[in-house]
Amino acid sequence: MTNTQSFDAAMRAFAPALPLAVGLSGGADSTALLLACARRWPGQVQAIHVHHGLQAAADGFEQHCVRLCRELQVPLSVQRLDARPTPGQSPEDAARQARYKAFEAVALDGKAQVAIKSIALAQHADDQVETVLLALSRGAGVAGLAAMPACWERAGLQWHRPLLRVSAADVRHWLREQGQAWVEDPTNTDERFTRNRIRVQLMPVLEAAFPAFRATFARSASHAAQAAELLEELARDDALAVGLPPQIAPLQRLGRARQANVLRHWLRVDHQTTPAAAQLAELLDQIQACTTRGHRIHIKVGRGYVVRSGSKLDWYNP
């Protein structure tokens, strides 16, 4: 495919439920996505811009978004928020979580004239590669290696990433052909951020050594997503057998890998926490050693503690 064909093909394949909201940062990727959507579904698209208030350039992003939406005759909702991280939270995660909440607030606003059914985000193939590499650097399991899904449901909304198979270069080439300007985030070149180091230092090397790396990484992420889905199905089945919170005796009858899988499921679903690998390994060892009535379990796991409570496990956050 030529530079613009991959973008055009991705947009032709994109079939969201309408009306649609597009997350608009003002950068090249979201500018291209909004422009393409507004042309394809006139009157059915609106934009949501999140002003994080974290850098001086943020006002310039907002001004670009206002001008663009005025030109496209697309309604724009600007959400201003405090995206400063909490203790122990990364700035990137804090900003991401704040964006999702802002998008949902706009889409689910009962006073809005039009009920939004879908939200489109502009992450592309390079973003997916960065996410996979970050997951590998952190020793993630298959759920982490699955990286970003192309579509999913959250808060009663359909979410889409239609550009996940389109390279960053192709997005920009398409925009230049349209004669459309965008703004560059100055933090994108700050190599104190891991994603930026991957983009600046690793991506050119991968491009030279493995020209098809975007497609192959995407395929690996898809395989990991399938494996993660199977593990989740198995965890739900095992949860029916061991109970939630887990009963120790039936838990011990499972193999160690299935114990780990169902415990991750319990902690994530019931307590919104994720155990570190070392924490989970210690918990599994204690479960195996729990053969007497007096055996005590009290282990730091995620943001709280897993304890033994009679014949079962429990979790609390002090």
pLDDT at 89: 62
Q: Is the pLDDT of residue 22 over 80?
A: yes
124-128 average pLDDT score: 97
Q: What is the pLDDT of residue 87?
A: 65
Which tokens sit at 61? Answer: 């992003």
Q: Does residue 87 or residue 171 have the better pLDDT?
A: 171
pLDDT tens by residue, 234-254: 999 999 999 999 999 999 999
- The span from the CA of 7 to the CA of 231, in Å, is 33
Q: What is the pLDDT of residues 192-211, one digit of tens each?
A: 888 899 999 999 999 999 99
Omega before 275 within 30 of 0, i.e. cis: no
Residue-level pLDDT at 2: 62
pTM of the model: 0.90
Supply φ then ψ for residue 45, to 5 degrees: -125, 140
Gap between the Cα atoms of 224 and 218, Å rounded: 10
Mean pLDDT on 265-293? 95
Q: Which two tokens stand for residue 122?
A: 């502009």
Q: Looking at residue 1, what is its pLDDT? A: 59
Q: How confident is the model at residue 90 (pLDDT cuts 50, 70, 90)?
A: low
Sheet with 151-154: strands ordered across: 76-80, 45-51, 20-23, 118-120, 157-160, 151-154
Dist CA 121 CA 164 (whole Å): 10
- The residue-averaged pLDDT of 272-280 equals 94
Please state, in angstroms and rounded to a whole number, the distance separating the CA atoms of residues 40 and 38: 6
Greater confidence, 101 or 304?
304
Q: What mean pLDDT is reported for the chain?
A: 92
Tell me the pLDDT tens digit for each residue of 152-201. 999 899 999 999 999 999 999 999 999 999 998 877 778 888 889 999 99
**Count of residues in the chain:** 318
